[in-house]
Amino acid sequence: MVYDKIIEMICEQFGMEPDQLSENTTFTDDMGIDSVDVVELIVELETEFGLDEIPEEELKKMRTIGDLADYVRAHTDE
Amino acid sequence: MRIILDAMGGDNAPQAVVQGAVRAARELDTDIVLVGREAEVRACLAACGGENEPRVSVADAPEVITMEDEAGMACYNKRRSSMTVALTMLKAGEGDAVISAGSTGALLGGATQFVKRIKGIRRAALGPVLPNGDKGVLLIDCGANVDSTPEYLLQFAYMGSFYAQKLMGIEKPRVALLNVGTEDTKGGALQKAAFSLLKEASDAGRINFVGNAEGSDLFAGKMDVLVTDGLAGNVMLKTVEGLAKFMFKELKKVMYSSTKTKIGALLIKKDLYGMKAMLDPSEVGGTALLGISKPVIKAHGSSDGRAIFNAVRQAIACVQADVAGAIEANIDHMKLEKAKEN
Protein backbone atom coordinates (compact mmCIF):
# COMPACT_ATOMS: atom_id res chain seq x y z
CA MET A 1 0.00 0.00 0.00
CA VAL A 2 2.66 2.52 1.08
CA TYR A 3 5.08 1.39 -1.62
CA ASP A 4 2.38 1.47 -4.31
CA LYS A 5 1.34 4.97 -3.27
CA ILE A 6 4.96 6.18 -3.38
CA ILE A 7 5.41 4.70 -6.85
CA GLU A 8 2.17 6.35 -8.00
CA MET A 9 3.34 9.72 -6.66
CA ILE A 10 6.78 9.42 -8.23
CA CYS A 11 5.30 8.55 -11.61
CA GLU A 12 2.89 11.46 -11.36
CA GLN A 13 5.44 14.03 -10.18
CA PHE A 14 8.49 13.01 -12.15
CA GLY A 15 7.01 11.47 -15.28
CA MET A 16 8.44 7.98 -14.70
CA GLU A 17 6.97 4.54 -15.39
CA PRO A 18 6.32 2.01 -12.58
CA ASP A 19 8.48 -0.65 -14.27
CA GLN A 20 11.48 1.70 -14.02
CA LEU A 21 11.23 1.73 -10.23
CA SER A 22 11.83 -0.67 -7.35
CA GLU A 23 12.54 -0.60 -3.61
CA ASN A 24 16.26 -0.37 -4.46
CA THR A 25 15.94 2.57 -6.85
CA THR A 26 18.06 5.47 -5.59
CA PHE A 27 16.74 9.00 -5.80
CA THR A 28 19.93 10.64 -6.95
CA ASP A 29 21.77 8.10 -9.09
CA ASP A 30 18.87 6.14 -10.60
CA MET A 31 16.10 8.73 -10.72
CA GLY A 32 18.32 11.77 -11.17
CA ILE A 33 16.31 13.89 -8.75
CA ASP A 34 17.73 16.25 -6.15
CA SER A 35 16.92 17.05 -2.53
CA VAL A 36 14.26 19.60 -3.54
CA ASP A 37 12.41 16.87 -5.44
CA VAL A 38 12.76 14.33 -2.63
CA VAL A 39 11.36 16.83 -0.13
CA GLU A 40 8.52 17.66 -2.53
CA LEU A 41 7.62 13.97 -2.52
CA ILE A 42 7.91 13.79 1.26
CA VAL A 43 5.61 16.78 1.78
CA GLU A 44 3.03 14.93 -0.36
CA LEU A 45 3.49 11.81 1.72
CA GLU A 46 3.08 13.74 4.96
CA THR A 47 -0.29 14.93 3.75
CA GLU A 48 -1.31 11.55 2.35
CA PHE A 49 -0.38 9.51 5.42
CA GLY A 50 -0.73 12.14 8.15
CA LEU A 51 2.97 12.01 9.00
CA ASP A 52 4.70 14.49 11.25
CA GLU A 53 7.62 16.45 9.86
CA ILE A 54 10.52 14.07 9.18
CA PRO A 55 13.67 15.09 11.12
CA GLU A 56 16.57 16.31 8.99
CA GLU A 57 18.88 13.50 10.11
CA GLU A 58 16.29 10.91 9.01
CA LEU A 59 15.84 12.66 5.69
CA LYS A 60 19.54 12.54 4.99
CA LYS A 61 19.55 8.74 5.47
CA MET A 62 16.92 8.21 2.78
CA ARG A 63 18.68 7.15 -0.39
CA THR A 64 16.19 4.74 -1.96
CA ILE A 65 12.46 4.35 -2.49
CA GLY A 66 12.65 1.44 -0.01
CA ASP A 67 14.18 3.69 2.68
CA LEU A 68 11.31 6.11 2.28
CA ALA A 69 8.67 3.38 2.28
CA ASP A 70 10.19 1.82 5.42
CA TYR A 71 10.09 5.15 7.23
CA VAL A 72 6.45 5.75 6.32
CA ARG A 73 5.47 2.21 7.36
CA ALA A 74 7.26 2.63 10.70
CA HIS A 75 5.50 5.87 11.48
CA THR A 76 1.97 5.06 10.35
CA ASP A 77 -0.52 2.23 10.75
CA GLU A 78 0.04 1.15 7.15
CA MET B 1 -6.59 40.71 -4.65
CA ARG B 2 -4.47 39.71 -1.69
CA ILE B 3 -0.67 39.64 -1.91
CA ILE B 4 1.38 37.78 0.71
CA LEU B 5 4.77 39.30 1.51
CA ASP B 6 7.65 37.53 3.24
CA ALA B 7 8.43 40.43 5.57
CA MET B 8 11.72 38.96 6.79
CA GLY B 9 13.32 38.21 3.41
CA GLY B 10 16.06 40.39 1.95
CA ASP B 11 18.99 42.53 3.03
CA ASN B 12 16.76 45.42 4.13
CA ALA B 13 13.98 43.44 5.79
CA PRO B 14 11.69 43.98 7.46
CA GLN B 15 11.81 47.80 7.12
CA ALA B 16 11.95 47.94 3.31
CA VAL B 17 9.32 45.24 2.87
CA VAL B 18 6.94 47.01 5.25
CA GLN B 19 7.49 50.39 3.57
CA GLY B 20 6.82 48.91 0.13
CA ALA B 21 3.78 47.05 1.43
CA VAL B 22 2.19 50.14 2.97
CA ARG B 23 2.71 52.13 -0.20
CA ALA B 24 1.31 49.29 -2.33
CA ALA B 25 -1.78 48.99 -0.11
CA ARG B 26 -2.41 52.71 -0.51
CA GLU B 27 -1.70 53.09 -4.22
CA LEU B 28 -2.60 49.72 -5.73
CA ASP B 29 -5.96 48.03 -5.43
CA THR B 30 -4.82 45.19 -3.19
CA ASP B 31 -4.76 43.82 0.34
CA ILE B 32 -1.35 42.91 1.76
CA VAL B 33 -0.43 40.28 4.34
CA LEU B 34 2.97 40.76 5.95
CA VAL B 35 4.35 37.46 7.23
CA GLY B 36 7.12 37.60 9.81
CA ARG B 37 8.04 38.21 13.43
CA GLU B 38 4.94 40.09 14.45
CA ALA B 39 6.49 42.47 16.96
CA GLU B 40 9.23 43.51 14.53
CA VAL B 41 6.81 43.91 11.66
CA ARG B 42 4.39 45.98 13.73
CA ALA B 43 7.24 48.20 14.94
CA CYS B 44 8.20 48.84 11.31
CA LEU B 45 4.57 49.56 10.46
CA ALA B 46 4.42 52.14 13.26
CA ALA B 47 7.72 53.65 12.13
CA CYS B 48 6.40 54.33 8.64
CA GLY B 49 2.93 55.42 9.77
CA GLY B 50 1.20 52.30 8.49
CA GLU B 51 -0.02 50.78 11.76
CA ASN B 52 -3.64 51.69 11.01
CA GLU B 53 -3.55 50.94 7.29
CA PRO B 54 -6.82 49.00 6.77
CA ARG B 55 -5.56 46.93 3.85
CA VAL B 56 -2.41 45.68 5.59
CA SER B 57 -2.49 42.73 8.01
CA VAL B 58 0.22 40.78 9.81
CA ALA B 59 0.63 37.00 10.16
CA ASP B 60 3.12 35.85 12.77
CA ALA B 61 6.02 33.59 11.77
CA PRO B 62 8.76 33.40 14.39
CA GLU B 63 11.55 31.86 12.28
CA VAL B 64 13.66 33.41 9.53
CA ILE B 65 15.45 31.63 6.70
CA THR B 66 19.01 32.88 6.32
CA MET B 67 21.65 32.46 3.65
CA GLU B 68 23.34 29.90 5.95
CA ASP B 69 20.38 27.51 5.66
CA GLU B 70 20.69 24.75 3.08
CA ALA B 71 18.62 26.22 0.26
CA GLY B 72 16.73 23.14 -0.93
CA MET B 73 15.83 22.08 2.61
CA ALA B 74 15.37 25.47 4.28
CA CYS B 75 11.58 25.76 4.01
CA TYR B 76 11.08 22.14 4.99
CA ASN B 77 13.34 22.41 8.02
CA LYS B 78 11.94 25.80 9.10
CA ARG B 79 8.20 25.33 8.83
CA ARG B 80 7.53 28.38 10.99
CA SER B 81 9.73 30.68 8.92
CA SER B 82 8.20 33.70 7.23
CA MET B 83 8.93 32.23 3.80
CA THR B 84 7.37 28.82 4.53
CA VAL B 85 4.32 30.31 6.23
CA ALA B 86 3.81 32.67 3.28
CA LEU B 87 4.02 29.79 0.80
CA THR B 88 1.67 27.54 2.78
CA MET B 89 -0.81 30.42 3.01
CA LEU B 90 -0.67 30.73 -0.78
CA LYS B 91 -1.22 27.01 -1.20
CA ALA B 92 -4.17 27.17 1.21
CA GLY B 93 -5.79 29.93 -0.85
CA GLU B 94 -5.24 32.65 1.74
CA GLY B 95 -3.74 34.94 -0.88
CA ASP B 96 -3.18 35.25 -4.62
CA ALA B 97 0.61 35.57 -4.86
CA VAL B 98 3.74 35.48 -2.70
CA ILE B 99 6.68 37.87 -2.87
CA SER B 100 10.00 37.24 -1.14
CA ALA B 101 13.36 38.98 -1.32
CA GLY B 102 14.94 36.14 0.65
CA SER B 103 17.18 33.31 -0.54
CA THR B 104 16.45 32.40 -4.16
CA GLY B 105 17.27 28.73 -3.64
CA ALA B 106 15.12 28.48 -0.54
CA LEU B 107 12.20 30.17 -2.27
CA LEU B 108 12.48 27.92 -5.29
CA GLY B 109 12.68 24.83 -3.09
CA GLY B 110 9.84 25.96 -0.84
CA ALA B 111 7.61 26.94 -3.76
CA THR B 112 8.21 23.55 -5.39
CA GLN B 113 7.61 21.65 -2.16
CA PHE B 114 4.70 23.58 -0.67
CA VAL B 115 2.91 25.38 -3.51
CA LYS B 116 3.82 22.67 -6.07
CA ARG B 117 4.72 22.77 -9.71
CA ILE B 118 2.04 22.72 -12.37
CA LYS B 119 1.28 19.06 -13.07
CA GLY B 120 3.60 17.88 -15.84
CA ILE B 121 6.17 20.62 -15.39
CA ARG B 122 9.50 18.95 -14.68
CA ARG B 123 11.27 21.95 -13.17
CA ALA B 124 10.36 25.50 -12.21
CA ALA B 125 12.60 28.15 -13.75
CA LEU B 126 13.70 31.70 -13.06
CA GLY B 127 12.84 34.10 -15.85
CA PRO B 128 13.96 37.70 -15.31
CA VAL B 129 13.14 40.26 -17.97
CA LEU B 130 16.27 42.12 -19.04
CA PRO B 131 16.17 45.54 -20.71
CA ASN B 132 16.89 45.64 -24.43
CA GLY B 133 15.69 49.12 -25.33
CA ASP B 134 12.23 47.81 -26.27
CA LYS B 135 9.87 45.52 -24.34
CA GLY B 136 12.73 43.53 -22.83
CA VAL B 137 13.95 39.99 -23.23
CA LEU B 138 13.08 37.16 -20.88
CA LEU B 139 16.09 34.99 -20.03
CA ILE B 140 14.97 31.54 -18.88
CA ASP B 141 16.43 29.71 -16.88
CA CYS B 142 18.71 31.90 -14.81
CA GLY B 143 19.94 29.46 -12.22
CA ALA B 144 17.09 27.36 -10.87
CA ASN B 145 18.41 24.24 -12.62
CA VAL B 146 22.13 23.80 -13.03
CA ASP B 147 21.57 20.52 -14.88
CA SER B 148 18.97 20.54 -17.62
CA THR B 149 17.54 18.10 -20.15
CA PRO B 150 16.18 18.88 -23.62
CA GLU B 151 12.67 18.46 -22.20
CA TYR B 152 13.34 21.10 -19.54
CA LEU B 153 14.47 23.54 -22.23
CA LEU B 154 11.35 22.80 -24.28
CA GLN B 155 9.22 23.58 -21.23
CA PHE B 156 11.21 26.74 -20.49
CA ALA B 157 10.52 27.87 -24.06
CA TYR B 158 6.78 27.41 -23.69
CA MET B 159 6.67 29.01 -20.24
CA GLY B 160 8.75 31.97 -21.40
CA SER B 161 6.58 32.37 -24.46
CA PHE B 162 3.37 32.45 -22.41
CA TYR B 163 4.90 34.95 -20.00
CA ALA B 164 6.00 37.21 -22.87
CA GLN B 165 2.54 37.04 -24.42
CA LYS B 166 0.64 37.75 -21.26
CA LEU B 167 2.90 40.09 -19.33
CA MET B 168 5.14 41.73 -21.91
CA GLY B 169 2.34 42.27 -24.43
CA ILE B 170 4.05 40.45 -27.30
CA GLU B 171 1.56 38.60 -29.47
CA LYS B 172 3.98 36.13 -31.05
CA PRO B 173 7.14 36.11 -28.93
CA ARG B 174 10.35 35.22 -30.75
CA VAL B 175 12.00 32.37 -28.87
CA ALA B 176 15.72 31.69 -29.31
CA LEU B 177 18.09 29.10 -27.87
CA LEU B 178 21.34 30.33 -26.34
CA ASN B 179 24.24 28.67 -28.12
CA VAL B 180 27.82 29.15 -29.26
CA GLY B 181 26.77 30.03 -32.79
CA THR B 182 23.64 30.75 -34.78
CA GLU B 183 23.88 27.82 -37.20
CA ASP B 184 21.34 25.02 -36.63
CA THR B 185 23.99 22.38 -35.94
CA LYS B 186 25.89 24.31 -33.25
CA GLY B 187 26.26 23.35 -29.61
CA GLY B 188 26.64 20.28 -27.44
CA ALA B 189 24.27 17.34 -27.11
CA LEU B 190 21.83 19.32 -24.93
CA GLN B 191 21.54 22.24 -27.34
CA LYS B 192 21.23 20.00 -30.41
CA ALA B 193 18.45 17.90 -28.87
CA ALA B 194 16.68 21.01 -27.56
CA PHE B 195 16.97 22.66 -30.98
CA SER B 196 15.09 19.75 -32.58
CA LEU B 197 12.32 19.89 -29.97
CA LEU B 198 11.93 23.66 -30.27
CA LYS B 199 11.84 23.44 -34.05
CA GLU B 200 9.15 20.75 -33.92
CA ALA B 201 7.08 22.89 -31.56
CA SER B 202 7.57 25.86 -33.86
CA ASP B 203 6.66 23.88 -37.00
CA ALA B 204 3.46 22.83 -35.23
CA GLY B 205 2.69 26.53 -34.67
CA ARG B 206 2.86 26.38 -30.90
CA ILE B 207 5.84 28.65 -30.34
CA ASN B 208 7.75 31.03 -32.58
CA PHE B 209 11.26 29.56 -32.50
CA VAL B 210 13.73 31.75 -34.38
CA GLY B 211 16.78 29.50 -33.94
CA ASN B 212 20.05 29.69 -32.07
CA ALA B 213 21.38 32.94 -30.67
CA GLU B 214 24.74 33.96 -29.27
CA GLY B 215 25.26 35.85 -26.04
CA SER B 216 25.95 39.04 -27.96
CA ASP B 217 22.45 38.87 -29.46
CA LEU B 218 20.80 39.37 -26.06
CA PHE B 219 20.51 43.13 -26.39
CA ALA B 220 20.23 43.24 -30.18
CA GLY B 221 16.44 42.94 -30.25
CA LYS B 222 16.55 39.63 -32.12
CA MET B 223 14.43 37.67 -29.64
CA ASP B 224 11.86 38.15 -26.86
CA VAL B 225 12.64 34.94 -24.98
CA LEU B 226 16.10 33.42 -24.67
CA VAL B 227 16.09 29.79 -23.52
CA THR B 228 19.07 28.27 -21.76
CA ASP B 229 20.08 25.91 -19.00
CA GLY B 230 20.32 27.44 -15.53
CA LEU B 231 24.11 27.30 -15.41
CA ALA B 232 24.72 29.25 -18.60
CA GLY B 233 21.78 31.54 -17.85
CA ASN B 234 23.09 32.43 -14.42
CA VAL B 235 26.62 33.05 -15.72
CA MET B 236 25.18 35.26 -18.43
CA LEU B 237 22.97 37.23 -16.04
CA LYS B 238 25.76 37.84 -13.54
CA THR B 239 28.18 38.83 -16.30
CA VAL B 240 25.67 41.33 -17.64
CA GLU B 241 25.07 42.77 -14.17
CA GLY B 242 28.82 43.02 -13.51
CA LEU B 243 29.49 44.62 -16.87
CA ALA B 244 26.73 47.19 -16.35
CA LYS B 245 28.23 48.18 -12.99
CA PHE B 246 31.70 48.40 -14.51
CA MET B 247 30.49 50.54 -17.40
CA PHE B 248 28.74 53.02 -15.08
CA LYS B 249 31.81 53.21 -12.85
CA GLU B 250 34.06 53.93 -15.83
CA LEU B 251 31.56 56.41 -17.26
CA LYS B 252 31.52 58.25 -13.95
CA LYS B 253 35.33 58.42 -13.97
CA VAL B 254 35.31 59.93 -17.46
CA MET B 255 32.60 62.43 -16.54
CA TYR B 256 34.55 63.74 -13.55
CA SER B 257 37.96 63.77 -15.25
CA SER B 258 37.99 67.43 -16.40
CA THR B 259 35.99 70.65 -16.33
CA LYS B 260 34.93 70.05 -19.94
CA THR B 261 33.55 66.56 -19.19
CA LYS B 262 31.90 67.79 -15.98
CA ILE B 263 29.98 70.42 -17.94
CA GLY B 264 29.05 67.77 -20.51
CA ALA B 265 27.90 65.44 -17.76
CA LEU B 266 25.75 68.17 -16.25
CA LEU B 267 24.02 68.69 -19.59
CA ILE B 268 23.12 64.99 -20.01
CA LYS B 269 22.57 64.21 -16.31
CA LYS B 270 18.82 63.78 -16.63
CA ASP B 271 19.16 61.47 -19.65
CA LEU B 272 21.75 59.38 -17.84
CA TYR B 273 19.42 58.97 -14.86
CA GLY B 274 16.76 57.78 -17.30
CA MET B 275 19.17 55.19 -18.64
CA LYS B 276 20.14 54.12 -15.14
CA ALA B 277 16.48 53.70 -14.23
CA MET B 278 16.02 51.43 -17.26
CA LEU B 279 18.76 49.15 -15.91
CA ASP B 280 17.66 49.37 -12.27
CA PRO B 281 16.22 46.06 -10.99
CA SER B 282 14.11 48.02 -8.48
CA GLU B 283 12.02 49.28 -11.39
CA VAL B 284 11.16 45.75 -12.51
CA GLY B 285 10.26 44.50 -9.05
CA GLY B 286 11.18 40.86 -9.27
CA THR B 287 11.46 37.64 -11.18
CA ALA B 288 8.59 35.20 -11.51
CA LEU B 289 9.21 31.55 -10.69
CA LEU B 290 7.69 30.01 -13.80
CA GLY B 291 6.18 26.55 -13.56
CA ILE B 292 4.83 26.92 -10.03
CA SER B 293 1.06 26.45 -9.80
CA LYS B 294 0.47 29.89 -8.27
CA PRO B 295 2.38 33.18 -8.68
CA VAL B 296 5.59 33.37 -6.64
CA ILE B 297 7.82 36.39 -7.20
CA LYS B 298 11.47 36.60 -6.21
CA ALA B 299 12.33 40.21 -5.42
CA HIS B 300 15.98 41.28 -5.53
CA GLY B 301 17.85 40.57 -2.29
CA SER B 302 18.77 44.24 -1.90
CA SER B 303 15.21 45.46 -2.53
CA ASP B 304 14.27 48.81 -1.02
CA GLY B 305 10.71 49.99 -0.44
CA ARG B 306 10.32 51.06 -4.06
CA ALA B 307 11.46 47.66 -5.35
CA ILE B 308 8.97 45.90 -3.07
CA PHE B 309 6.21 48.25 -4.27
CA ASN B 310 7.09 47.38 -7.86
CA ALA B 311 7.20 43.68 -6.99
CA VAL B 312 3.64 43.96 -5.65
CA ARG B 313 2.62 45.64 -8.89
CA GLN B 314 4.27 42.80 -10.82
CA ALA B 315 2.58 40.18 -8.63
CA ILE B 316 -0.82 41.74 -9.34
CA ALA B 317 -0.07 41.63 -13.07
CA CYS B 318 0.98 37.96 -12.78
CA VAL B 319 -2.26 37.04 -11.01
CA GLN B 320 -4.34 38.88 -13.59
CA ALA B 321 -2.42 37.38 -16.52
CA ASP B 322 -2.77 33.81 -15.21
CA VAL B 323 0.38 32.46 -16.85
CA ALA B 324 -0.01 29.24 -14.87
CA GLY B 325 -3.43 28.75 -16.48
CA ALA B 326 -1.92 29.06 -19.97
CA ILE B 327 0.81 26.56 -19.07
CA GLU B 328 -1.73 24.10 -17.68
CA ALA B 329 -3.87 24.38 -20.79
CA ASN B 330 -0.90 23.45 -23.00
CA ILE B 331 0.91 20.97 -20.77
CA ASP B 332 0.26 18.01 -23.08
CA HIS B 333 2.43 19.62 -25.75
CA MET B 334 5.16 20.44 -23.29
CA LYS B 335 5.97 16.89 -22.27
CA LEU B 336 8.59 15.02 -24.21
CA GLU B 337 6.51 11.99 -25.19
CA LYS B 338 3.82 14.30 -26.56
CA ALA B 339 6.33 16.59 -28.20
CA LYS B 340 7.77 13.57 -30.02
CA GLU B 341 4.35 12.33 -31.06
CA ASN B 342 3.28 15.64 -32.54
The answer to whether the Cβ–Cβ distance between A36 and B122 falls below 8 Å is: no
Helix residue ranges, H only, A1-78? 2-14, 35-49, 56-61, 65-74
Distance CA B109, CA B74 (A): 8
How many CB pairs below 8 A link A and B?
Answer: 36
Question: Closest to A53 (Cβ–Cβ): which among B79, B108, B116?
Answer: B79
Domain that holds residue A45: 2-74
Helix (H, G, I), strand (E, B) or coil at B229: coil
B137 phi and psi angles, rounded to 5 deg: -130, 130
The answer to whether the Cβ–Cβ distance between B116 and A39 falls below 8 Å is: no
Domains annotated for chain B, with CATH where assigned, are 1-121+290-331 (3.40.718.10), 122-255 (3.40.718.10)
State residue A78's pLDDT score.
65
Residue of A nearest to B80 (CA): A53
Rounded to the nearest angstrom, the gap between the alpha carbon of residue B2 and the centroid of all alpha carbons in its chain is 19
State residue B341's pLDDT score.
41
Summarize pLDDT for A4-63 with one digit per residue, the tens: 999 998 988 887 899 999 999 999 899 988 888 888 888 888 888 888 888 888 888 899
B271 burial via Cβ count (<10 Å: 0-12, 13-18, 19+): exposed
CA distances from B327 to A63, B27, B132, B191 (A): 32, 31, 26, 23
State residue B178's pLDDT score.
97
Helix (H, G, I), strand (E, B) or coil at B64: coil
Is B248 at the interface with chain A, CB within 8 A?
no
State residue A34's pLDDT score.
81
State residue B4's pLDDT score.
98
Q: Which residues of B touch A14 (CB under 8 A)?
A: 122
Interface probe, candidates B80, B113, B123, chain A, greatest A C-beta count within 10 A: B113
Residues forming beta bridges with residue B99, ordered by sequence position: B5, B297
Enter the ipTM: 0.80
CA distances from A10 to A13, B111, B270 (A): 5, 18, 56
Angle, helix B38-47 to helix B15-27, in steps of 10 degrees: 60
Min distance A56 CA to chain B CA atoms (Å):
7
Q: Which of A19, A29, A30, A34 is catalytic?
A: A34
The answer to whether the Cβ–Cβ distance between B335 and A39 falls below 8 Å is: no
A30 among known catalytic residues: no
Question: Closest to B113 (Cβ–Cβ): which among A12, A39, A56?
Answer: A39
Q: pTM for this one?
A: 0.89
The helix (H) or strand (E) run that includes residue B139 is strand B137-140
Min distance A53 CA to chain B CA atoms (Å):
8
Indicate left, alpha or beta for B169 from its phi (over 0: left) and psi (-120 to 50: alpha). left
Min distance B62 CA to chain A CA atoms (Å):
18
Residue of B nearest to A59 (CA): B73
Is B132 at the interface with chain A, CB within 8 A?
no
Q: Is B39 within 8 Å of B327 (Cβ atoms)?
A: no
Min distance B232 CA to chain A CA atoms (Å):
19
Domains held by chain A: number: 1
The answer to whether the Cβ–Cβ distance between A15 and B113 falls below 8 Å is: no
Distance CA B308, CA B101 (A): 8
Q: Which residues of B touch A15 (CB under 8 A)?
A: 120, 122, 335-336
Is B276 at the interface with chain A, CB within 8 A?
no
Q: Is B100 within 8 Å of B125 (Cβ atoms)?
A: no
State residue B319's pLDDT score.
96
Distance CA B193, CA B56 (A): 49
Residue of A nearest to B118 (CA): A13
Which of B288, B252, B302 has its CA nearest to residue B144? B288
Min distance A24 CA to chain B CA atoms (Å):
23
Distance CA B289, CA B117 (A): 10
Which residues of A sit within 8 Å Cβ distance of B?
12, 14-15, 34-37, 39-40, 42-43, 53, 56, 59
Block means of pLDDT (10 residues each) for chain B, 342 residues, are 97 96 96 98 96 96 94 92 98 97 94 92 92 91 89 96 96 97 94 97 97 94 96 93 89 91 88 76 82 96 93 95 94 72 40
Residue A34 sits in a domain whose CATH number is: 1.10.1200.10
Torsion angle in degrees (nearest 10) through CA of B253, B301, B121, B82: 180
Is B155 at the interface with chain A, CB within 8 A?
no
Q: In what order do the strands lie in the sheet with B2-6?
A: B56-60, B31-36, B2-6, B97-100, B296-299, B286-290, B125-126
CA distances from B263 to B65, B86, B248, B253, B260 (A): 48, 51, 18, 14, 5
Is B331 at the interface with chain A, CB within 8 A?
no
Question: Closest to A56 (Cβ–Cβ): which among B77, B108, B120?
Answer: B77
Helix residue ranges, H only, chain B? 15-27, 38-47, 71-77, 82-91, 104-110, 150-167, 189-203, 230-255, 259-279, 281-284, 305-321, 323-329, 331-334, 336-341
Which of B123, B121, B110 has its CA nearest to residue B72? B110
Interface probe, candidates A29, A39, A48, chain B, greatest B C-beta count within 10 A: A39
